[in-house]
Amino acid sequence: MFDNGETVTWHRWIPGGTDDYGKPLPGTYVEQDLTGVAFAPEGTDESDPDGRTVIDAEIIVRGSAIPYSARDQFTARGVRYGVVGASAGGWRNPFTGWSPGQTIKLKRVVG
């Protein structure tokens, strides 16, 4: 955890499974607050094929890695973001060897 980190809400997607006849049941999101998270929003000039603005961000979760999926979402500073991919990244300082934690890339489309 970062001492001055932020609280971010993790919206974890839980699939619904199937009913007695094998038909899919709707899934749901379960919310969990993550504290002490580093949040880094990034502005971008990128737009999607429909001309909407794309805003990138990432969070760094300290401690144990969380088992997130590509369908999960995160809310930071009141804005809900989708996950970009489902594999966690992480970087290591080449001078000290310090690794801050699990890095999760996020994206939001506006407009």
pLDDT of residue 54: 72
Per-position pLDDT tens, the chain of length 111: 577 889 999 999 999 888 899 998 989 999 999 998 988 887 666 666 777 667 777 777 877 788 889 899 999 999 899 888 766 677 778 899 888 888 888 888 776
Rounded to whole angstroms, the Cα distance separating 80 from 29 reads 13
DSSP one-letter code for 10: E
Q: What is the pLDDT of residue 45?
A: 61
- What is the pLDDT at residue 30? 96
pTM of the model: 0.78
